[in-house]
Amino acid sequence: MDHAHYFKRNAVYKVEENEISVVDVHENNTITPLDPWMGAVVSLADGQHTIAQLIQHMTAQYPNGAPENLLKTLESVIERLTETDVIELTLRPSILPYYLRLPMDEQDPKEATQLMINDGFLKPPEE
C-alpha cells in the first residue's frame, strides 16, 4: 500500500457518543455502526491527509508505544473500507462536499439533500 496516497470519505457518516457509523443515504438512511478502528479512519478521511499522516497520527495516540500490529491493522482497515467504497485513495488532496465533510447530525438536512441531488450523489425523489 502506497502511504503517499490521500484518503477521503465517499459515504455519509454519523457520530453518536463515541461510535461512528456509515449512513447509506441510498437505502433509507440505513445506519451501519463501525468498529473503533474503521470509525477512526472514516472520521479522519477528510481528503486532506495521506495514509502516512494517518499512521503518524494513530501512532501518536499511544504515548507508551504503539501496538506492534498498528501498521498492519490500519492497512487492513483501509483495504476493507476502499473495497466497500466507504473511502477512496487519491493521488492529490480533495475537498469533500458539504454532505461528506461533516457528520450527518451537524448538517442542515435540506441543504445536504439538495447538494447530494445536485451532485448526482443521490437521485431526486420521484414525484
For 45-94, write each residue's pLDDT tens digit.
999 999 999 999 999 999 998 899 999 999 999 999 999 999 999 999 99
Q: Does 15 score more than 70 pLDDT? A: yes
The residue among 126 and 100 whose pLDDT is bigger is: 100
What pLDDT is attached to residue 124? 82
Three cell numbers at 72? Answer: 498492519
What would you report as the CA-atom Rg of the chain, rounded to the nearest whole angstrom?
Answer: 15
Give the residue, 127 or 15, on which the prediction is more confident.
15
Residues 6+ apart with CB under 8 A from 1: 51, 75, 78, 79
How do the domains of the chain map onto residue ranges? 6-119
**Confidence at residue 87, expressed as pLDDT on a 0 to 100 scale:** 97
